[in-house]
Amino acid sequence: MPRRKSTHVDNPIEVGRRLREARERAGLSQRQLSFPGCSPAYISRIEAGDRIPSLQLLREMGQRLGVSEDYLATGHERHEDAARLVDAELALRLNELDLAAKLYDEALDGADATGDARARALAGLGQVAFQRGDPRGAIERIEAARASSRERLAEQPAAADTLGRAYAMVDELDASIAVFNESLRAAEDREDKVEYSRFAILLANAYIDASNFNAAEQLLSRALEAAPDSRDPILRARLYWSQSRLHTLQKHPTEAARYARRALTILEATEHTEYTARAHQLLAHIELDRNNAQEALHLVEHGLDLLGDGGNPVDRALLRLEEARALVQLGEHERAASLAMEVAGLLKDASPHDAGRGYALVAQVHEQLGDRARALELYELAAEVLEASPGRYLVEVYQRLAELFEEDERKEDALNILKKAVAVRADHGS
């Protein structure tokens, strides 16, 4: 009796081939793939092209193999899902975040439980979350995409970039370094100079955050050598930006300012307003280290104007933190304390490191206003937050706490805090 013509598969032989390849990729035997209603023998017949499985069976097998039922049936994802994902990715690039989120959600609703369309939608939603200032939401979604994708994260540069940055923002530096390292090695294997430079710079910044300055210097040097003719202005600006951050934390403010100005000059000739705003924030930070409060305020104002009302809330908060630091230098203590406390609250989940800086700044203001008890409480809160990512600022907070304890004749507490400061300095070169 002739086989009934299928209306949902392209060709039984091709369906069998795709099923066998997906099963072998997943490392499963026919017996391991089987389930009630689909025996190993039946799977063998499907792979031989002798049986046409129902869509329900294709869906169940696809979920176990990390592919969609449409891929097994036709070799293609659903056209409407693919088109929706392309539209979503375009909206994301254009910073139309509400539209991008809507399209990714629609694609996710239509995607299979473990298909590639689902992975792309989840990764896109992770990038939207990051742009909205929600790094933990970004991590959750991109890790879910990573788990359901057949493709390594290192082969998805945009998602890897966002995931590594999100981990760094919440002070999970080991995870950030691991993501960037994997992507750097993959770019090196592909001999992709552009992506190699990109991830070398990102990895260098993660090492800077971890106070591993030697590793950062080596990576930035290699990135400079690998940069393809310096034709990408954003790549060149990122190199200068990273050099500036490195010199800032090494307490070389003149060199830091020189590199920051170079980055800003390049960025102001582009349309990348968010990068340009971040360059203003970095330069404002450096100018405050050089006691140039008025210049810092000017840079903060310009950076906030660039972001506008719809800018990334974390970027806005970091600029406002520099504004609070400038107000301290100008003697406007109450305004500075109010602003720094507000900013610290906004950053507590999104960027604990910067939240700790905010609490330390408020503590400094209360100390200058003569409220030692409140200052001590806030320094202790700053230390608690900063201990998640030990470094230069934690050492400074510990040292100030030790001084206050000493002044209050709490010698044992002062000694214990100083021991902690010495340990952090030894471990992190702060």
Residue among 313, 319, 364, 320 at smallest CA distance from 339: 320
Find tokens 């788990």 and name the residue: 147
pLDDT 10s digits, 374-412? 889 999 999 988 887 777 788 889 999 999 999 888 999
SS3 at position 38: strand
φ, ψ for residue 169 (rounded to 5)?
-65, -35
Residue 214: partners with Cβ closer than 8 Å, 6 or more residues away:
none
Residue 56 tokens, joined: 């329900």
Residue 163 predicted with pLDDT over 90:
yes
Residue 367 tokens, joined: 């100390």
pLDDT-derived band at 2 (thresholds 50, 70, 90) equals very low
pTM over 0.85: no
| b/e burial code for range 260-296 (CB count within 10 A of at least 16 → b) | bebbbebbeeeebbbbbbbbbbbbbbbbbbeebbebb
The share of the chain scoring above pLDDT 90, in percent, equals 37
* Alpha carbon distance, N-terminus to C-terminus of the chain: 80
pLDDT 10s digits, 140-162? 999 999 988 767 888 888 999 99
| b/e burial code for range 69-97 (CB count within 10 A of at least 16 → b) | bbbbbbeebbeebbebbebbbebbeeeeb
Q: Where does residue 51 fall: left (phi above 0), alpha (psi -120 to 50 degrees), or beta otherwise? A: beta
pLDDT-derived band at 45 (thresholds 50, 70, 90) equals very high
- Chain mean pLDDT for the chain: 86
CB-based contact 360:324 (threshold 8 Å): no
Residue 297: partners with Cβ closer than 8 Å, 6 or more residues away:
284, 323, 326
Rg (CA), the chain: 27
pLDDT-derived band at 5 (thresholds 50, 70, 90) equals very low
pLDDT 10s digits, 295-337? 999 999 999 998 887 678 888 999 999 999 999 999 999 899 8
In this prediction, residue 430 carries a pLDDT of: 52
Cα 374 versus chain centre, distance? 34
φ, ψ for residue 35 (rounded to 5)?
-160, 170
Average confidence (pLDDT) over 177-205? 90
pLDDT 10s digits, 230-245? 567 888 888 898 999 8
Q: Which domains occur in the chain, in start order?
A: 12-74 (1.10.260.40), 79-151 (1.25.40.10), 312-430 (1.25.40.10)
In this prediction, residue 229 carries a pLDDT of: 54
Element (H, E) at 120: helix 116-131
In this prediction, residue 78 carries a pLDDT of: 60
Residue 421: partners with Cβ closer than 8 Å, 6 or more residues away:
394, 395, 398, 399, 402
In this prediction, residue 269 carries a pLDDT of: 84
Determine the Cα–Cα distance for residues 40 and 319; give it in Å rounded to an integer.
61
Find tokens 């793939």 and name the residue: 33
Average confidence (pLDDT) over 15-24? 92
**Total number of residues shown for the chain:** 430
